[in-house]
Amino acid sequence: MGSDLCGLTAWELSGLYANGRTSPVDVMKTTLERIQSLDPTVNAFCQVADEALESARASEARWQRGAPLSQLDGVPVSIKDNIAVAGLPTRYGSRATMPEAAASDSPSVARLREAGAICFGKTTMPDFAHKIVTDSPLTGTTRNPWDRSRTPGGSSGGAAVAVALGMGAVAIGTDGGGSIRIPASFTGVFGFKPSFGRVPHAPRGPFGLLSHVGPMTRCVEDAAQILTIISRPDSRDWYALPFEGADYARGLSCLPVPGGIRIAFSPTLGLPVIAEAAIHDAVVRTAAMFRELGALVHVADPPGVAQCNAVHTTLWRACCRQLTDGMTDRWAELDPSLQAYAQAGNGISRGELLGALIEREELGAAVNAFFERHDLLICPVYPDVAPSLTEASSNEASFPHFTAWCNQLGLPAASLYAGMTATRLPVGIQIVGGRHADALVLWASHMLERAFGRAPFGELTRELSAAAAGATPA
């Protein structure tokens, strides 16, 4: 089966493990070979764990005894570099951090290990996850595999690229303003930002009120299974929601048919930002598909998105200011754009910060009322497909207009592949639910995935493998 193993989903791998047609050792070896072959051209990984094969052997032994820890036992999972993995440094993509190994796992990694998943490496990210382009003074530039002159987005750009190229079936990312959903849209993978508090995370740090941990996968079913595991309780996170024992994967087939589901769709969210034709058409096409299935569909903008974005700007700058406080001796090591955010945060008074938090509460109440009238919202993830590296790095308009409001209000939101442009770039759409409606967002994503299909990752990998055979590193 060879390199084809890298193209399988976590669900498919677990089925092969169960019937003995392949093993976690074979999959891990093939994954490491894929990374060695392709990563020099895209720069998705900053670290790979030395004990990955040892973990795979332990998993293989469990499957042979008929005692796997879960269906995810032996599945390779990459972890973003701002999430602690015991034994590996947590560098946050920054030269301002020290290369000291983490003493313990973060909650999501601990739950994955308990399930037998192999957390085998760390993926690249921008300096402290502060922007939606994945480049940093520490690790360099991460490139989009569909067009290496373009960005995969950020800040979970390395995670998205890893999944798209089969360098691990699953990646765990974080999303503070769109950092899972934007890279997912730009690379064609599925990305899910859960409700705030759904997935315990520690330590939260300065971005703790905005950042969410979530899965990036090649199919919705994998993301649902991962969420079932990483949403289990951990007392280290004071914000964590009560654990209800939900099985999100089973829920994909347990929810009702679309008839009667109330769908709002909006190509602009009421913002003066015009989505490109491919993005606009994907949103409209998705709404039409729901209507054909019997859903109640109409155009509607959620209230206050522009105000949410303004609050996001205030809080983000304040967070960057707090993050860099005390870094005087390491200031020169920081990305200049992070320095600029932090300096902008210097001018935010305590009164302005408190005012932003109060306004966020008021906006949240208004959006709660919106989701009492609508079950789901379909809208863009980003107004365009993946921009060039030059454009993405220099364009102030790369603000996450369509995604940041979901972080401010703690809403569950997904980025789902909805087709390719004529120039072979993925198009993504965003599915947003009311607070705590994670299962409904995953169900809708699963239903649409069956209609849209998945991005042609096998074709992409074959082309990149052929190019990499004679390519110089990115």
> Which entry of 23, 55, 80, 136 is annotated as an active-site residue?
80
Spacing of C-alpha 392 from chain mean position: 18
Spatial separation of the C-alpha atoms in residues 242 and 178, rounded to whole Å: 25
- Known active-site residue 179: yes
> Which entry of 94, 179, 231, 398 is annotated as an active-site residue?
179
> Which entry of 155, 195, 398, 415 is annotated as an active-site residue?
155
List of residues 6+ apart from 25 with CB closer than 8 A: 53, 56, 57, 60
Q: Which two tokens stand for residue 3?
A: 């390199």
Q: Are 162 and 181 in contact (CB under 8 A)?
A: no
- Known active-site residue 29: no
253, with CB counted inside 10 A (0-12, 13-18, 19+), is exposed
Amino acid letter, 235: S
Task: Give the SS3 label for residue 93.
Answer: coil
Spatial separation of the C-alpha atoms in residues 257 and 259, rounded to whole Å: 6
Spatial separation of the C-alpha atoms in residues 456 and 451, rounded to whole Å: 15
- Known active-site residue 155: yes
Neighbour tally for 339: CB within 10 Å: 17
**∠ CA 211-94-85 to the nearest 5 degrees?**
65
Task: Give the SS3 label for residue 76.
Answer: strand
**∠ CA 395-398-403 to the nearest 5 degrees?**
175
Active site residues: 80, 155, 179
